[in-house]
Every structure is written in structure tokens, then in C-alpha cells.
Chain A
Amino acid sequence: MRFESAQGERLKTKLSVENVYKIFGSHPKRAMARVAKGEDKDRIFAETGMTVGVSDASFDIQEGEIFVIMGLSGSGKSTMVRMLNRLIEPTSGAVKIDGRDIIRMSRKELIKIRRRDISMVFQSFALMPHQTVLENTAFGLATAGVGKAEREKRAMQALDAVGLKANAQSFPDELSGGMKQRVGLARALAVNPSILLMDEAFSALDPLIRTEMQDELLRLQSEQARTVVFITHDLDEAMRVGDRIAIMQSGRVVQVGTPEDIVRKPANDYVRSFFRDVNVSHVFSARDVAKRNQLTVIERAGMSVRAALSRLDDHGRDAAIVHDRHRCYLGTVSVESLRICLEGLAADDEGDLEAAFVDDVPQVSADTSINELLEPVASSPYPVPVVDADGRYLGAISRAVLLRTLSRSEEEAA
């Protein structure tokens, strides 16, 4: 959502991946030649024993977005994310952070980048069992040579941010899985990186804790937007946290887009197969179902009560929405409310539209999920107007439209 609402502003590319390949095996160049000829991963493996981990991946990640990489197990997600901090050396291609190619960097510069700009959260937590929670959290700072008092202070703040301040002196094996991963998160946040890599960070947690951690991530992200690369094989998780999603299939990035884009226009059957059992109501928000042509639209300036009524009569509609010069939503009027208002007016009185506004029409914001729409739409006598963050009118949702959307999502789910 953040990504979309930022449409107007110029987005800054934080990380860019350009034609990156990774081949595991003894003669990567030989396998590269085969890849170039268009041979697929399975054949290359069968004939040469080399594994194509990632093949010709290119995408840009914007500053402050949560970029999800999704794909089945073995599709190359872990390999991909490890090339972003060069834990795995790409066979060819470029990975640029703020425009600087880290693949061509010296070891020393790379270590500097790892200490300052980019940190990582691991699937199996990867905490150091011999260190306390506090020492674990301060690990990156200690590595960078930050003094003890300063690093413990900053580690404590990071622990506070994930709600684990009370466990600072515990050892990792005294914590539950969810708590361990909070420490993993705190350790990554303590160095205050601009990029956070998360490889299946929540996959080892049980579902309840997992949702909790996703919320935690979104909350932290709302406090300070970092660029997050989030790996998962779970679609619900991808939809929940992702501003944009890249889908990987046997080493290739087959589609990159917003969750809505990908649900609407899946690039191939592989992508479609992910969504077969997706509940559309999670994916679509009010913005997506709002219809422009549901209601007559009236600009308030220069419109009398009488003129509004005759406009509605012309269109054969029950109700209209009223907006101001900037298309900001003001209220809804109906034939009935306009008539009542007109009866109270003298023959030569123009009347004020505001007096005819129907009170019990709620307005909903663009990113309300479909599930949350049910109640306002059902209780409203007229279609419910949808407004964006600035209050501008985007369209309206009638009961019929909502029902149609819901039944479609159920059909797709079946």
C-alpha cells in the first residue's frame, strides 16, 4: 500500500539486481554457456551435475518498501538473498546498493557495508549459544568495534523495540522460538541498517506466533521504513507483508509486481498455482472494488438543491455524491433527502446541498480490506464512497458489487 500511495513522489532505488546468475558446481562458466543456449535447470543438472541456483535475475528494490521474494523450495530464494550481501558470490551480474556494485567491491569495503548498511535475519535464528541475549543483540556492534557501554545501550534499545528488554541476561536456549527470532530481529536492528534481509525468518515459527511477528515487522516498519527483502514460500505471508512481490521459479524471477498485479495478471501457470487457494478478500481492498459509475457525481460549487434533484432524475439514480473543487468527498444526497430539503425552501431559494446530506452513509478508506467492508456496506442505505488518504473520492461500493466480488473469490477458491 505504501508503495502505491507513494506514486506521486519519486521513488529511490535502494538495491538493484542486474542479470545475476549463480551456478553451483565445479565449472560454472560451462554451465553458463548452456544456460545461454536456453537449456533448463534439470537438463543442465542431469548432464553436468551443476546446479543453476539463480538464473538471469534482474529487479529493483525501492527505498522503504518490503520486497518479498516468493517461490517453492529450491527455487533459489536463499541463494538470491545471500547474493545481496555477498554471502554467496554470484557467478556473474551486478548487485548495486545505492548505485554501488558490491560484487566488484574489495573485501574491506564489503565488510564495511555489512557492518553499516545491511543486516540479516535467519530462518533458524542463528543466535550464538554462548552469548546472552544482550551480547547476541550487540553482536554486529561488537564486530564493528563499538565500545561496550555504547553497544549495550543500543542493543538494549533494540531489545526494547522488540519487547525483550526483560530477557537481556537470558541465554538463547532459555527462550521460545518466537522470542529467539525477536532476538534475531533485534540483532539485525541494533546496527540500524538501511537494508534488512530476512530469509524465511518466520517460517520456523508456529502460525500464531508467525502472524504476531508479521505484525511486529509491519509495526517496526511503520516507525522507521527500512528497505526489507523478505523471503517466504508462503503466499499469505507474502500478501500480508509485501509491498511488492517477486516470484521465483527454478532459479528465474518470473514476475515482479504488487500483490494485486500478480493476482490479477499471473505471468504463468506456476504463478497462478500459488493463488489457486488464495482468499481474494485478503488481496483486494476497497480501492480495487470501488466503481466510478455507481453514483452520479456532483460538484458542490454552483449546484442548487433543485438542479441536483433534476440531475438525479435525468440519470434515473437514487443517490449522488457531492465533492468539492479538489474532488474531496463531502457527502451523499438522495432523491428523498433532496425532496425533503426542497419542501422547506421558498420558491426563489437556491438551497444548500449540505442540508440534504444523508447522515448514515459511512465513508471508507481505500485500503480497507474486503472483509472489513461488509459491515459498512450492509448497513448503508446507499453505495459507500471510497476515499484515498487525502479524502479524494475514488468510487463507491454497492452491496451488489461487494457480493459479486465475494462470490467470485469463493468460486476461485473452490
Chain B
Amino acid sequence: MSLFQVANDGLWQRLSDHLIVDLPIGDWFTLVVNFMQAHFDLFFSVVSSVISFVADNLTTFFNWLPAPVVFIALAALALWRVGWQFTLFVLIALYVVLGMDLWPATMDTLGLVLAATIAALGIGLPLGVLMAKSDVVQAIVRPVLDFMQTLPAFVYLIPAVIFFGTGRVPGVIATVIFSMPPVVRLMNVGIRYVPSENVEAGKAFGCNGLQLLWKVELPLALPSIMAGINQTIMLALSMVVIASMIGAGGLGDPVLAGIQQLRLGTGFQGGLGVVILAIILDRLTQSFGQRRRRASVFSRLAKMFGSNSERPSAG
């Protein structure tokens, strides 16, 4: 045993003397970051001002809205898309949020999530289309997405802080990057899995590339796209909470305080607020993923009265 160990140690010693070189990857990374800071200054400041404009306005807007308006708007959405049970839940949950005195924080978080989601979709949806249309783009983007999804969430905070300092803007940027992969992926998959005969039918009836996308591929991929949007929103919410570590504000603050100062109650309340917001956003966005039919109510009614052969516009 010990003989073996000695031999092993000796071998390893010799191997490492010859083969292992020092890789100062951390130093290289610093160099890259410094280089980018020095030469892409303008780029970062433009991105920063756009993001802060959108994020600030959205958070201000939601905070400006009187609570009853938010109550009514969300309840109406819930009633339209989901059902009365869920509407009841929404009303009670929002009341709890008010009662915990977390209303401003919740509205902040909502604004940040929305800002980040808009940016993530703005980049992610077209990227997903490109990825579906080109195998080369897919081959490049896919490993990047895999990489992005395996990184722990708070790792995104580091470059965001380096380039944009602390506050809302880096929080939103980290959130955008963290939450983008699902919508890109599911757009890609959704388009690629449109049944080939439907695509052929589109082409056979003379669609050009853009028509094929609009009339066939996007509508048939819609459930998948909506699932992607839903996941992106959920990831954005979780990241926004984490981003309070770099001063993004919102519902993450009480949670962070709970951790840092061991204030169990505060932390729990913040967590509850996050959960409530998560459930409301999740159910509402999921409901948009189910295919709605414009005419089905009409046609069923018409069938009921046996007069569906007449149609005014078909004269």
C-alpha cells in the first residue's frame, strides 16, 4: 500500500513538474475587462442609460398607480384568462401584500421584472428565429445558452457590477442575461418542430420566407414560444430578487435583510411577497400559452341556432 503510494506520489510529482503550467486565467479575464472598459465605454453608457430609462419609468409607473387600480386590473385579467377561483386568490394575495407593507417593494420588483423581460424578449425572440433558420447559428448559440444556464445566478452579478457599478441598471442587465435562454431555446425548438407538412403547405401555396414565418411557423410554434416567455418571466423574477445584493431594490431587500441580520420575520415576509408575485405572473402568462379561438364561441352559438351557413362577409 505505502509502496504504491510512494510510487504514485513520485510519478505525480514528476508529471506535474513537466506538464502543468500556471494558467493565470483570472489575470487574463481582468485584462479583457479592463480592455473593454477602456474601449467600449460609449457602448456601456448607452446601454446603461436606455436600461435605466425603461426600468426607472416602469417602477415609477407601477408605484404611481393607486393600489385599487392594480387590484382591479389584475383581478380582471385573472377573471378573463383563468377563472373566478384564481381571481379570488389574486385579490386576497394582493391584500396580504398590502398588509405586510410590501406594496412599494412589490411594485418595484414588478417594474424591474417587466423591464428585464422586455429586453430579454427583444433580444431573445429574434435570436431564437435566427437559430431555428440557420444550423450554423444554432451550433454557435446552443453551447452559449448551455453555459449561461449552468452558471449560478449570482455569478452574473460580477460582470454587471464591473461594467455598470451597483444599482438598478446592473441588476436589470444581469437579469436580462440570466433570463434570456429559455425564450431563445423554446422559440428555436417551437419553429423547428412545426410539422413538416404544414411548412410544405405554406411553401406549396406560395409563401415567401417572411410569410412562412408569420402565417405558419410562428402561429404553430406559439404554445412553445409562450412557454418560453413564461419561463423567462419566472427566471427574471428570481434574478431580480438576487440582484438586490447589488442594490437593485424591490422585494429582494427584505429577504436580504432577513439573511444578513437574521431577521426571520422580515425575511419570511419578503419571501412570501416573491411567491405571491410569482404565482400571479406564472398563472397569467401560462394562460396566454393556451390556444384561444376567436370564432369558436361564435360558431358554437351559431351551430346551436342552426344558422351557421349564413355569414355576412361571405356574400
Give the number of residues in A that approach B within 8 Å (Cβ atoms). Answer: 43
Q: How far is the CB of B262 from chain A (nearest CB, A)?
A: 54
**In the complex, chain A residues whose CB is within 8 Å of the CB of B220:** 128-130
Interface size on B, residues (CB 8 A): 31
**CB 8 Å contact bits of B201-236 with A (1 = contact, 0 = none):** 111111110010001100110100000000000000
Judged by DSSP, the binding face of B is helix
- CB-defined interface of A336-352 with B at 8 Å, one 1/0 digit per residue? 00000000000000000
Contact partners of A87 in chain B: CB under 8 A:
200, 203-204
Instruction: Give the chain A neighbours of B208 by CB distance below 8 A.
Output: 111
Whole-angstrom distance between the Cβ of B82 and the nearest chain A Cβ: 21
Least CB distance, B50 to chain A, in whole angstroms: 34
**B159 at interface (Cβ–Cβ under 8 A)?**
no
CB-based contact A166/B308 at 8 Å: yes
Surface stretch bound by A, among B38-46, B163-171, B185-193, B292-300: B292-300
The answer, yes or no, to whether A13 is at the interface (CB within 8 Å) is no
Could you tell me the distance between the alpha carbons of A143 and B308 in the complex, rounded to whole angstroms? 26
- A128, B217: Cα distance in complex, Å: 10
> Which of A117-125, A319-327, A377-385, A404-412 contacts its partner?
A117-125
Interface flags, B278-315, vs A, CB<8A=1, else 0: 00000000000001010110110010000011010111
Q: Is B205 within 8 A of A115, CB to CB?
A: yes
Across the interface, do B314 and A168 meet the contact criterion of CB distance under 8 Å?
yes
Q: Is B34 an interface residue (CB 8 A)?
A: no
Complex interface bits, A136-149 against B, C-beta within 8 A gives 1, otherwise 0 = 00011011100011
0/1 interface trace, chain A 89-127, chain B, CB 8 Å (1 if under): 000000000000000000000011011101110111111
Q: Tell whether A170 is near chain B: CB-to-CB under 8 Å.
A: yes
Within the complex, which residue of A128, A149, A156, A171 is in contact with B198, where a contact is CB–CB below 8 Å?
A128
B273 to chain A, nearest CB (A): 37
> Is B195's CB within 8 Å of the partner chain A?
yes
A134 at the B interface (CB under 8 A) = yes
Other-chain contact of B204, A120, A127, A134 (Cβ < 8 Å): A120
User: Complex: how many Å from CA A126 to CA B198?
Assistant: 5
Contacts of B215 in A (CB 8 A): 128, 139, 142-143
Min CB gap A193→B, angstroms: 10
The closest CB in chain A to the CB of B314 belongs to: A156
* Min distance, Cβ B225 to any Cβ of chain A, angstroms: 13
- Determine if A143 and B205 form an interchain contact, defined as CB atoms under 8 angstroms apart: yes
In the assembled complex, the Cα of A139 lies from the Cα of B200 at a distance in Å of 13
Contacts of A165 in B (CB 8 A): 309
Complex contact A122–B296 (CB within 8 A) = no
Q: Are B200 and A122 in contact (CB under 8 A)?
A: yes
Known: A132-B295, A152-B314, A156-B314. A169 touches B302 (CB 8 A): yes
**Does residue B197 face the partner (Cβ distance < 8 Å to A)?**
yes
Q: CB distance B314 to A143 under 8 Å?
A: no
Which of A119, A123, A167 sits near B205, CB closer than 8 Å?
Answer: A119
Indicate if the CB atoms of A126 and B201 lie closer than 8 Å: yes
Q: Which residues of A contact B195 (CB under 8 A)?
A: 124, 126
Interface centre among B204, B220, B291 (most CB of A within 10 A): B204
> Which residue of chain B has its CB nearest to the CB of A135?
B295
A191 vs B293: C-alpha distance when bound (angstroms): 26
Closest to B212 in A: A143
**How far, in Å, is A173 (CB) from chain B's closest CB?**
10
Find chain A residues with CB under 8 A from B205 CB.
114-115, 119-120, 139-140, 143, 187, 191
Judge whether A149 and B201 touch: CB under 8 Å.
no
Q: Is A363 an interface residue (CB 8 A)?
A: no
Q: A152-B313, A169-B295 are in contact. Are A130 and B222 (CB under 8 A)?
A: yes
Distance between A15 CB and nearest chain B CB, rounded to angstroms: 15
Q: Hey, which chain A residues are within 8 Å of B296, CB to CB?
A: 171
With A130-B219, A130-B291, A132-B295: A168-B204 Cβ-Cβ less than 8 Å:
no
Q: Does A398 count as interface, using CB distance less than 8 angstroms?
A: no
Contact (Cβ within 8 A) B314 A134: yes
Complex Cα gap A149–B315 (Å): 9
Alpha-carbon distance between A124 and B200 when the two chains are bound, in angstroms: 12
Contact mask for chain A residues 67-89; partner B; CB cutoff 8 A; 1 contact, 0 none: 00000000000000010010100
Chain A residues with CB under 8 Å of B293's CB are 171
Q: A119-B204, A142-B215 are in contact. List 20 more A-B contacts (CB 8 A).
A: A87-B204, A111-B207, A111-B208, A114-B203, A118-B204, A122-B200, A126-B197, A128-B216, A128-B219, A129-B220, A130-B220, A130-B222, A139-B215, A140-B205, A140-B206, A143-B211, A169-B295, A169-B298, A171-B293, A171-B296
Could you give 27 example pairs across A and B, Cβ below 8 Å? A111-B206, A111-B207, A111-B208, A119-B204, A120-B200, A120-B201, A120-B205, A124-B197, A125-B197, A126-B197, A127-B201, A128-B215, A128-B220, A129-B220, A132-B295, A134-B314, A140-B205, A142-B215, A143-B205, A143-B211, A148-B313, A166-B309, A169-B298, A170-B299, A171-B296, A171-B299, A197-B204
- Give the B-binding residues of A (Cβ under 8 A): 82, 85, 87, 111-112, 114-116, 118-120, 122-130, 132, 134, 139-140, 142-144, 148-149, 152-153, 156, 165-171, 174, 187, 191, 197
Question: Lowest 5 A-B CB distances belong to which pairs?
Answer: A115-B206, A126-B197, A140-B205, A126-B201, A114-B206
